A = this chain, B = another copy of it.
Amino acid sequence: MDLVPGGHDLLLVEQDGDLSDLSAKGGVMNDNVCPENARQAIMDAAAECFSKKTVRRTTYADIAAISGCDARQIKKEFKTKNQLALTIQARDMKRMKQAYLSSMPDATPDKVIKYILRTRLNFVADNHERMYLFFREGLSGHQPWSKLLDKVIWDLSIELLTLIHKGVRDGLFRQSMDENIITRSILSHYLTGVVVIGLRSEEFDADGVWDFIEPQIDMLFECITT
């Protein structure tokens, strides 16, 4: 299956399972030593510390103090603070997606597409440091993060494609346009905004990145609207 629907075959992604599977099987955390509730408590405690003090400044002792788990146990379970941060990121990305899918506005597909992209940008801004780690590892081809990046791009592609298809069916978008190419194009606008514009600066400026992305999306919609 392609990274981007109807696209090339440079990178293949397994589409069954969800993001959290990456930690459960085949990923870096495949020999979990903690019960699941302890893992979640550690992740919650770490997320709190990371957002207060950054990943670099957080110590295992900080996480132990909040979670009530032993610092050595935490280190044994997650190997490094970066791995812990990335595991939290995978979990939170799944939660973010579930949250916005359940609160999707009842609007035309073009507006919903913009809502999804804007919501995702806010999520990136709220988790700038972890997002930066995630893209750095993923774009470097390091596993399991590269595979997770494929999965994130694939999921977004499917959401976009579904909405574009709905737009065509509802008579909003022209039937003559290739739905896969439109999907790919929106994806390119979004990814360039996030990776090349946003994550390069010290603070991720979601409004600034949206100012970069939105006019491109609007122009595209103008082109494909009936």
- Point out residues on A near B: beta carbons under 8 Å: 3-4, 7-11, 136, 138-141, 146, 153, 177-178, 181-182, 184-185, 187-189, 191-193, 195-202, 205, 208-209, 211-212, 215-216, 219-220, 223-224
Contacts and interface: CB of A to CB of B under 8 A. Distances in A.
11 contacts: A3-B197, A10-B198, A10-B209, A11-B200, A178-B215, A182-B219, A185-B185, A185-B220, A187-B192, A188-B216, A219-B223
Chain multiplicity (copies): 2
B181 A212 contact: no
A191 B193 CA distance: 10
A207 to B, nearest CB: 9
A191 B141 CA distance: 17
Contacts of A181: 215-216, 219
A131 to B, nearest CB: 13
A212 to B, nearest CB: 5
A218 to B, nearest CB: 8
A187 B86 CA distance: 29
B182 A7 contact: no
A11 B197 contact: yes
A219 B136 contact: no
Nearest to A215: B181
B193 A188 contact: yes
Contacts of A197: 3, 8, 10-11
A10 B188 contact: no
